[in-house]
Structure 1
Amino acid sequence: MVNGKFISTALAFQLLSVPALSQETIGTITGQFDGEELQWFVTTDDGKSQSDWTNMGPLADVNIFAQPTADTVDAIKGTLLIGFQLFNLNATPAVATPEVTYLKEGYSGMFGSRGDAKFTIEEASIQGDTLHVKGSFEGEIYYSTDYLRTLDTRDPKMVSGQFDVNLDPVSK
């Protein structure tokens, strides 16, 4: 007689070991945090991503949720978030409301900017409903243990990086 518990356990193990065939990297960020070289990956799983953009007429609202490894789509610890509004897509793009957040220790210990990080956009275009944006950022970020409600400005850390991403719209 075959043990049903064994079969269930073996089947569960097999299902867990199957690679995610629908996972894809749609962008990367390379940069530095406090002098340490780091790389992040913008990923999708089955067409879904935590990174997206919203077409708001004369501007695009951009949210990039970059993972610490290429094989994750929903990590928290080590994740880098950058967000900004992109104006003037048809000419020289300009950035407003820039934000940088590094979840170095996850939600319990993160670093955030005060909206004054400098962003430079090298390329920005829309093909179909996909926004391609390539650029760089730099600025000081500050430690917080309360979800960025308060920032410890006594010991700022420098963060900088280059990004190149293809983002689907938020409604997809």
Structure 2
Amino acid sequence: MPAIGGLCDLAAPETQLAQLPIAPAVVLILENLESMLALPPWPGVVAVHGSGYDVDAAGRLPWVQAARVVYWGDLDSHGFAILHRLRFWLPDVPSLLMDEQTLLDHRDLWVTEPKPTRAVLDRLTPGENAALARLRAEGDVRLEQERIPWSVALAALEGAVAPR
């Protein structure tokens, strides 16, 4: 990630983040901090920890709204609920690795989701709805993003941040 004032990792109140004089080409919003901190530096890319259901803060940032944004969350009901929430601010944000094929490719890494949400998520794409339906049909399973092999995740992330 590009260093801001020499810092590659920072936390600040939303009001201060909103005033940053940056204009990234791509913003990656990740549900889990561990995955975000493992990212390599990519020119023109800023990664933001979505902080779970607090993803609204990221969605409101003006420099996020002006960039091409990609969301990567856990492949579970709450990951989809967070994506649904982010789409209030960024209606066209695509998800990454939150599809049925990714779920099926990593069946051996599933765990049971202890408290799945049953909220109506009407901002999901047909593909995301299919993945959510599959999660539920398989017994409310989940595939946490940090369980996906890093080589698979990194390849998908590199494709997502590639210049268009």
TM-score (norm 2): 0.27
As a proportion of its length, which structure holds more strand? 1
As a proportion of its length, which structure holds more helix? 2
- With CA pairs under 8 Å and 6+ residues apart, which has the higher RCO, 1 or 2? 2
Name the larger-Rg structure.
Answer: 1
TM-score (norm 1): 0.26
